[in-house]
Structure 1
């Protein structure tokens, strides 16, 4: 809303939003609103299309982007900030969040 107000005030003066607008100003205002809506719609679509993606076992030479999920030492990690080569999930909480901690392997179980 601030962008719309600023655009209208830049075009028609500081009091543009406090007075009755002419027909032409209404059309201009609608153009500004439509442009703001389209930008917001594009941002929402980008967010909705960027879910999580399982990419397998963590590899030291691989670059990961936000949303990638890897397995490292039996735990699952989700990349929360783009990670360069060699950024180890279990050692970089700035780039990775623990999704599921490795459980016991069951080899020591007495049945």
Structure 2
């Protein structure tokens, strides 16, 4: 049972004030709905950014923001990519760091 359901179905004796129980629980449920929506948006924002995924793997799908190394360079995915879309072979990757000279 969700917290929202508990609030809506709580017994009236739980309230110690003269607030009308139906109005109170309805308002509290609305607040919980808004809170849940904001939490989902915050979670989505926190998932953004970049994520290092290691060396590029042909059999792996990649999401926007994933960073891989390929032929000595670092590449970032600018969109969701299917397993056959390799860095330097499609417009779904952007070169982030170019390979330097060997010493």
Which bracket does the TM-score occupy, shorter chain normalised? 0.5 to 0.7
SS at match of 1:99: strand
Determine the C-alpha separation between the residues in 2 that align with 1:53 and 1:28.
41
Consecutive unaligned residues in structure 2, runs of 5 or more: 1-21
Alignment: residue pair count: 83
Please give the TM-score of this superposition, normalised by the length of structure 2: 0.58
SS at match of 2:62: coil
The answer as to 2:86 corresponding to 1:88 is yes
Determine the C-alpha separation between the residues in 1 that align with 2:78 and 2:28.
37
Q: CA deviation at 1:80?
A: 2.3
> For the aligned residues, what is the CA RMSD?
2.6
Superposed CA deviations along residues 49-89 of structure 1, whole A, max 9, x for unmatched, are: 34422222112222112232111111101122111011011
SS at match of 1:89: coil
Aligned equivalent of 1:102: 99
Equivalent positions of 1:1-111 (< 5 A) are 35-93=33-91, 95-106=92-103
Q: CA deviation at 1:101?
A: 1.3
Please give the TM-score of this superposition, normalised by the length of structure 1: 0.55
Superposed CA deviations along residues 30-66 of structure 1, whole A, max 9, x for unmatched, are: 8656634531331122221344222221122221122
Determine the C-alpha separation between the residues in 2 that align with 1:97 and 1:35.
39
